[in-house]
Amino acid sequence: MNENWILSDWLVLPYTPDQEAWRDSLYQAAAKAGRTIFEWDQGGETDWNTRPLLLTANVTSALSIQSDPARIAAVIGSLDVATQNSLSTSERHDVVRAVTDGFAQLALLPPERIFSSESFNSSPLEILPGLIVSSPPKGSPSTTPLATALEIHLKDKAIWPVEIFSWSSPFQRDGDFAVLDLTGRPRFLAFGPYIVMPVGRWKARFRITFDDYASRYLFRVDWGGVEHYSSYEFRPGKAGMYELEMSFDWLERASCEFRVLLREGAFHGEVAISDLTIIRES
């Protein structure tokens, strides 16, 4: 291993819609500090006499070489995932997995080494010795449903709107709920969103309402990883609203899946599933 790598300072800039704006700010700060930036993920050669800052999109790349977190600064712009409308459902899920894995890696750093856009508060901030960074010109904050859900990577609690999940049929939003007709074969009513979760125990809290017809059918709800998860199977028995809480331990960072399954064919019935509240328990 090159000794220069070990002695260098690292910048982590995960993939976000405003990544390029933040990259420009980092380059400007480096120039003012008399330093250069080496794009680690692109490879190549660099002049170590310029005291380069090593820039990567992944915390794991930095930690694999630099064991001192004090010499690593992660800068996080707008937490969101940009996807093209032309992508298929599976392609969109793959993009969410790939991008949010970078967000989940943030948990490997001490909180004081993570600098979100809110940390700057319109004022320059020294994120490494002598490196004073200003936030780029602010655009409109991201307010997409997925941006709301991704707050779990900076906070211990977030709302996951129903729009971030994939659905077997179109739903109607009514307040906090997605309302859909049950008529049809046994199937997954909702599944996703495949956000990569940081290590820890995470609880999903949500509500489901059933009308008289829907309450007669057998349902299953899953929360956890794609292959290993907590599961609850039930037949409501009567119409009404039910609040459920399910917890799952992520022993390593991995994508998550929430699923609601109708276990038998339905001739009538309507069900409503609320936005989820995701809470870190440990």
DSSP string computed for 257-269? EEEEEE-S-BSS-
Map out the domains of the chain with their CATH numbers: 3-133 (3.40.50), 145-280 (2.60.120.260)
More reliable by pLDDT, 46 or 75: 75
What CA–CA distances, in Å, run from 263 to 85, 150, 187, 270? Answer: 31, 30, 7, 15
**Is the confidence at residue 267, as pLDDT, over 90?**
yes
Nearest Cα neighbor of 30 from 137, 109, 128 is 128
Residue with tokens 């930036």: 37
More reliable by pLDDT, 119 or 127: 127
10 Å CB burial of residue 111 (0-12, 13-18, 19+) is exposed
- Check residue 139 and give its pLDDT: 65
- What mean pLDDT comes out for the span 49-65? 93
Q: How many helices (H) and strands (E) does the chain have?
A: 6, 20
- Check residue 226 and give its pLDDT: 95
Q: Grade residue 100 by pLDDT with cuts at 50, 70 and 90.
A: very high
- Token digits of residue 88: 């298929």
| Mean pLDDT for the chain overall | 94
Alpha-carbon distance of 221 to 238, in angstroms, equals 18
- What mean pLDDT comes out for the span 110-129? 92
- Check residue 82 and give its pLDDT: 85
User: Could you give the angle at the alpha carbon of 46 between the alpha carbons of 45 and 51, nearest 5°?
Assistant: 160
DSSP letter string, 121-143: TTS-EEEETTEEE-PPPP-PPP-
Nearest Cα neighbor of 237 from 269, 260, 255, 214 is 214
**Is the confidence at residue 45, as pLDDT, over 90?**
no
